[in-house]
Amino acid sequence: MKQKFVIDSYRFHAKDRSRFLVRGWFEDESCAEKHKLKILLDNEELPKEIEKKINTGIALFPKKDGNIPVWFYSVWITLPENFERAKVLKVVDCFQGEEETVYKISGSKLKKKQIRLDKYIEGGKLTRDGFKIRGWCIQLDKVKIQVYDEKKRKLPVEIKRKRRADILFQFPECRESEIFCFEIFYKGKIPKRATVYLEDGERKGHYSVILEPSTIKKGVEKVKEYSQKTYQYTKDFGMTNMMERAIVKLQRKDLDLYNYWRKQKAVTKKELKKQKNTVFPIQPKISIVVPLYKTPEEYLKKMITSVEKQSYTNWELCLSDGSGDSSPLTDILKNYIKRDSRIKVVSNKTALQISDNTNKALEVATGDWIAFMDHDDELTPDALYECIKAINKDSEIDMIYSDEDKVSMDGKEFFQPHFKSDFNIDMLRGTNYFCHFTVVKRELYQQAGKLRGEFDGAQDYDFVLRCVEHAKKVKHIAKVLYHWRAHRDSTAENPESKLYAFEAGKRAVQAHYDRVGIRAKVTSTKYLGIYRSKYDFDERPLVSIIIPNKDHIEDLDKCISSINQKGTYKNIEFIIVENNSEKKETFDYYNVLKQKNPKVRIVTWDGPFNYSSINNFGVTFAKGDFYLFLNNDTEIINEDCLEELLGYCRRSDVGAVGARLFYKDGTIQHAGVVVGMQGVAGHEAAGEPNEFPGYFGRTIIARDCSAVTAACIMVKRKVFEEVGGFNPELAVAFNDIDFCLKVRKAGYLILYNPYAELYHYESKSRGQEDTEEKIRRFQREIEIFHERWYDFLLKGDPYYNSNLTLAETNFGLRL
């Protein structure tokens, strides 16, 4: 049957164990009304209820064609007594006279699922001084969790409850308080095995996690562990969900996940043959320029071979041998010239530095596009094809870069894949994340000019920055098209060996700022190759700081005092939006505050709590050209926090700026937001240590992103007015994400600045989402957000990467 109903997950109702849920979607939604689903227990049709909902799926699992289903169908089946005696339960899809069984399970297996505690243990992770285990269970009474080692000794563990929107989505019939998501922390000698026992009234369950098996049993035990977990998760949530989770949970170095992953993604011989036969409307010549310098013969041959194997054949390879008069490469290169007329060689009598050497290769390049490659690296066979495909899709493109990884000296191991952001000008000013594979149109190269020797070591960084200053459209191809060979003396493996290169990189960024007329000072950081830009400005515009508040005057006082006493930016006003406080001391505090601080204004919001409406109301009293929306449970850390926010926000292309926030214990609470992560949005690096640099430095680099949290966000007045402020439909959740996406849609950048640092004591003043009303509202706001931004979610966050998982916040691989 074509366009059938696809099962996504199946389970029992968490509370009413006589109801069984089968959830899925139709491969062709336009035909959904013509389908009929029958539920048969043996041959008797059972009653059912079907709920159709927009996909608020916290992990947006794709269909076979790569698209994401817009609508999910929840089929609730009412089971009779003694259903376990039946041979089989079937879900049958009926369409135009055809019938197909899309799901079946025996009555005995169904009974086992009914009496089991709904739980999932997501595996153990070793820490510096112990281990951590994540999981969840449905808590109808009061769950009790205990952990024992392999010798049945009880382990002293700390259990922290975590909020998990993805699990909440799986169990919409539950209140948030009934979904117990947890992290178990243990400090001490690591046992070989830890068994987690869960007990909730009469329902019990347990699961063993292998932590440190013996050398002999290590491989066998790993296979056993992951086989058990895969089987269990598949039964609970279906094959599609299991595959996504499996990729996330298997991500460990000793399992060589990336090499397995890349083999699944590698272009096949059949696809390469098809690519070779593809005739594009536009088939430009690509000149690949490579500076050579006493290149080891083995690597030189591999580099050239990788070019010769390209499925797109309209290329030329321009090699400049800068080894000098006694070059060891002369005879090797002569053979290649004879073999392939597309290979050009420039021989130089004197040894050349890298910029001059590359420029010599550029002088003989005749292609419509110029690609840059190092002398010992390799291209994937479809590298040029993917570039030409992108060029044919969009004629405005004049610069391309791709994802990359590293390859070992023997060429057998691939590691450290870098799955990059789409074009991100501020990230590029913080580090040369373009790196490889970079391809530019000839006209753009001519505008930018040749490589400059004064930036040797970072000559490519300087060149890329000059190119983006003139580029019409920069295209990122989210595929690994380049293998960077790792050398001991390369900056890839031993950064300290090329400190001069990082100094050159700093000068390259500074020169870029000088050319584009931005007053900023560039400094190096302790992370080599990552730079900090500090913006300089003379004028001191008024900043209106808008803080909603309900009681919690200690938090509010700490927030205001930190800005007044520690902060060095003084042209500010405070708009405190009073929201239904109940304590007399709160109003007494307001009176004292106004008397002591003339910059404070107290305004009163009489309606129920609605974050969007409260802030929109507060703005009507603000006089500044910049608004700083701030939670009352925040406290600035660095004295120039406001200057850091304002420096970027003043730029004409920036609409809003967010900060790096920390929990009270110093761990990271916010370092930018990935929209679509866990269904709606996820905070990068949440819960990581204070100094955690993030995925390729993302936590410590000022960069553009799709959204930041409104716990601390600075916005231009004119931008706020242009997009209509916050959306009152989103009273509590996702209003900041929605606002940021509106700012992005209006053509402005959202910027995350890690050098504006604050503590955020996280929603103390509002309480937990622990009532039926709050849970229903939360689900409704998810639906509103998805309806408004489904196209964005479908395409994916441009500042993330489609090769990375959305199910977790760990930048793991996505299948």
Q: What is the DSSP secondary-structure string of 242-298?
A: HHHHHHHHT--GGGTHHHHHHHHHSPPHHHHHHHHT---S----EEEEEEESS--HH
**Domain 543-795 belongs to what topology?**
Spore Coat Polysaccharide Biosynthesis Protein SpsA; Chain A (3.90.550)
Pairing of strands 572-579, 600-605: parallel
> How many angstroms from the chain centroid is the CA of residue 655?
21
Tens-place pLDDT, residues 599-651: 999 999 999 999 999 999 999 999 999 999 999 999 999 999 999 999 999 99
Tens-place pLDDT, residues 551-578: 999 999 999 999 999 999 999 999 999 9
CA angle 561, 563, 567 (to 5 degrees): 125
Closest-CA residue to 427 (of 390, 370, 465, 454): 465
User: Which region, left, alpha or beta, applies to residue 700 given φ > 0 means left and ψ of -120 to 50 means alpha?
Assistant: alpha
Helix (H) and strand (E) counts in the chain? 20, 38
* Rounded distance between C-alpha atoms, residue 446 and residue 424, angstroms: 23
In terms of residues, how long is the chain?
815
Pick the CATH number of 5-113 from 3.40.640.10, 3.30.365.10, 3.30.1280.10, 2.60.40.10: 2.60.40.10
- Which pLDDT score, from 0 to 100, does residue 67 have? 56
Would you give the DSSP letter of residue 741?
H
For residue 577, CA distances in Å to 58, 268, 549 come to 33, 61, 6
CATH number of 269-490: 3.90.550.10
- Which pLDDT score, from 0 to 100, does residue 370 have? 98
Q: Tell me if domain 269-490 and domain 543-795 are identical in fold.
A: yes
As to burial, measured by CB atoms within 10 angstroms (0-12 exposed, 13-18 middle, 19+ buried), residue 420 is: buried
Tokens for 426? 């501020």
Q: Which amino acid is at 285?
A: K
Q: Are 671 and 755 in contact (CB under 8 A)?
A: no
Segments of the chain scoring below 70 in pLDDT: 1-2, 55-70, 165-166, 169, 212-255, 487-497, 763-776, 815
Helix axes 330-339, 297-308, angle to 10 degrees: 20
Q: Which amino acid is at 518?
A: I
Q: 232 by DSSP, 3-state: which?
A: helix
Q: 563 by DSSP, 3-state: which?
A: helix
Q: Are 759 and 637 in contact (CB under 8 A)?
A: yes
Closest-CA residue to 363 (of 466, 456, 451): 451
Element (H, E) at 230: helix 218-249
Count Cα neighbours of 128 within 13 Å in the Cβ-side half-sphere: 1
Q: Which residue has the tokens 């196209």?
A: 791
Percent composition of the chain: helix, strand, coil (DSSP 3-state, to 5): 35, 30, 35
- Which pLDDT score, from 0 to 100, does residue 506 have? 97
- Which pLDDT score, from 0 to 100, does residue 778 have? 77
Element (H, E) at 162: strand 157-162
Pick the CATH number of 116-238 from 2.40.430.10, 2.60.40.10, 3.40.109.10, 3.30.360.10: 2.60.40.10
Q: Are 578 and 547 in contact (CB under 8 A)?
A: no
Q: Where are the domains of the chain?
A: 5-113, 116-238, 269-490, 543-795
Q: Which amino acid is at 669?
A: Q
Q: Are 381 and 267 in contact (CB under 8 A)?
A: yes
Count Cα neighbours of 600 within 13 Å in the Cβ-side half-sphere: 22
Closest-CA residue to 29 (of 65, 3, 62, 2): 3
- Which pLDDT score, from 0 to 100, does residue 306 have? 97
